[in-house]
């Protein structure tokens, strides 16, 4: 089976609140993780990534946390806006060299209420 999964398939928040999307992975050899945002009718869009030698990385309004002990990844979105409404995927790197591929989790639908 797939090694990347999500705890919550849907998340509904009020505009201005902070959002937290969680992801569990089972492959302890994974060393690179990415969060993607997919809006309706579009392809997945890169948000932020983190390598396994880090436990936190911040971007603009987004923070990714990595807990290798429990194989858990989270995406925090500050001051969530209606434009953040989308499906969010975590992806895990498996393989090395030219066999590099990303395995995607099931996705979480984030809905931001005005």
Partner 1 sequence: DTAVSQTPKYLVTQMGNDKSIKCEQNLGHDTMYWYKQDSKKFLKIMFSYNNKELIINETVPNRFSPKSPDKAHLNLHINSLELGDSAVYFCASSPSSRAGYTFGSGTRLTVV
Taking the CA atoms of residue 103, residue 95, residue 70 and residue 80 in that order, the dihedral angle to the nearest 10 degrees is -40
Backbone angles phi, psi at 97, to 5 degrees: 60, -135
Instruction: Find tokens 């434009």 and name the residue.
Output: 83
86 in Cβ contact with 22 (< 8 Å): no
Our CB check for partner 1 shows the closer of 38 and 76 to be: 38
Our CB check for partner 1 shows the closer of 6 and 112 to be: 6
Least CB distance to partner 1 at residue 44 (A): 5
Our CB check for partner 1 shows the closer of 14 and 26 to be: 26
Q: Which residues bind partner 1 (CB under 8 A)?
A: 31-32, 34, 38, 41-46, 49, 87, 89, 93, 98-104, 106-107
Radius of gyration of the chain (CA): 14
Least CB distance to partner 1 at residue 15 (A): 24
Least CB distance to partner 1 at residue 16 (A): 27
């Amino acid at each position: 089976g797939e090694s990347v999964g999500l705890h919550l398939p849907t998340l509904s928040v009020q505009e201005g609140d902070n959002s937290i999307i969680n992801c569990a992975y089972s492959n302890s050899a994974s060393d690179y993780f990415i969060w993607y945002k997919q809006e309706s009718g579009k392809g997945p869009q890169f948000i932020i990534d983190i390598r396994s030698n880090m436990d936190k990385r911040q971007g603009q309004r987004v923070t990714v946390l990595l807990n290798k002990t429990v194989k858990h990844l989270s995406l925090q979105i500050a001051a969530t806006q209606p434009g953040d409404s989308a499906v969010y995927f975590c992806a895990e790197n498996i393989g090395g060299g030219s066999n590099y591929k990303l395995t995607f989790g099931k996705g979480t639908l984030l809905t931001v209420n005005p």
